[in-house]
Structure 1
Amino acid sequence: MKFICLGYIEEAKWDNLSDEERQRLMKDCFDYDDELRRGGHFLGGEALDSARHAVTLRVKDGSVDVTDGPYAETREILGGILLLEARDLNHAVSLMSNHPGVKMGPFEIRPAAEEINSQIADRDKAFANEKRSQE
């Protein structure tokens, strides 16, 4: 099963770390990601830039309204995602419980929506085939 692990971070906590502490934490995270890779569990991931550089879109009075920052009014913001392969949710929890990133904030773990993702993959293939036939 695929799981999406959403890693949250309190930016003020990150900002208060020294450069050496940040580098050490990132090395620990990368090392653990390598362990997940060796076990066939790491499918990918993306770190996110600071929420200070984010915008949020929402429809307001029939048009799109753009506001600065994340939608949620909270200290903990989404810091990155990790795609994980695990037997079940308990296995995913067990694997992510050892991730050093948990020291910076919580991880939300959700099963991927396999049926919808399969439909997205089918559309991607159809689009790629259509594009090739036009070339």
Structure 2
Amino acid sequence: MKYLCLAYYNPEKFAAMAPADVQALVSQCPAKDAELKKTGRMVVSASLDGPQAAFALRPIGGKTVVTDGPYAEAKEMVGGFFIIEAADREEAVRVASLHPAATLGESVGWAIELHPIGFFEMDRTRGT
């Protein structure tokens, strides 16, 4: 089974950090990411631009309307996502716990939310 893992953070807490503290935190991520990739269970991983770059499509009056972000008020924002493969919930927790957001960044609200994926299809014609 595949799991969508949403990596959250608190933008206000992150913005309040001193640049040196941000660097110290972020510099620990590549080693953690490498650990996760070594499991062979990672399908895809990506970080997202800040919430100000987000936009939403909504059906309004029979037409698709674009709304600029951030389009949801929240204390936590999705900063990235990854998809893993795991045999069951326990394995998904074990694999996802290798991601930096599961072990670092408590002070900036890092967290991971896991969603089992019911249907998954990749467009292999794109080559990206």
Which TM-score applies when normalising by structure 1? 0.74
Q: Which runs of 5+ in 2 are unaligned?
A: none
Amino acid at match of 2:110: G
Residue 35 of structure 2 contacts residue 98 of structure 2 at CA under 8 Å; is this kept in 1?
A: no
Structure (1 or 2) with the greater helix fraction: 1
Matched, 1:106 2:111: yes
**How far apart, in 1, do the equivalents of 2:34 and 2:98 lie?**
13
Matched residue SS, 2:27: helix
Amino acid at match of 2:93: V
Shift of 1:64: 1.9
RMSD value over aligned CA atoms?
Answer: 2.1
Matched, 1:63 2:63: yes
Which position in structure 2 is the counterpart of 1:13? 13
**How far apart, in 2, do the equivalents of 1:58 and 1:38 lie?**
39
Shift of 1:58: 0.5
Residue 42 of structure 1 contacts residue 82 of structure 1 at CA under 8 Å; is this kept in 2?
A: yes
Which position in structure 1 is the counterpart of 2:92? 92
Matched residue SS, 1:74: coil
Shift of 1:72: 2.6
Which position in structure 1 is the counterpart of 2:3? 3
**How far apart, in 1, do the equivalents of 2:3 and 2:28 lie?**
21
Give deviations 1:28-50, integer Å, cap 9, x for gaps. Answer: 22211111122222332110000
**How far apart, in 1, do the equivalents of 2:73 and 2:25 lie?**
26
Larger radius of gyration: 1
Matched residue SS, 1:107: strand
**How far apart, in 2, do the equivalents of 1:25 and 1:82 lie?**
20
> Matched residues, percent identical?
34
Give deviations 1:73-131, integer Å, cap 9, x for gaps. Answer: 21111111012232311121133335331433321111222xx32xx34xx46xx4xxx
Residue 2 of structure 1 contacts residue 85 of structure 1 at CA under 8 Å; is this kept in 2?
A: yes
Matched residue SS, 2:17: coil
**How far apart, in 1, do the equivalents of 2:19 and 2:42 lie?**
27
The count of aligned residue pairs is 120
Amino acid at match of 1:4: L
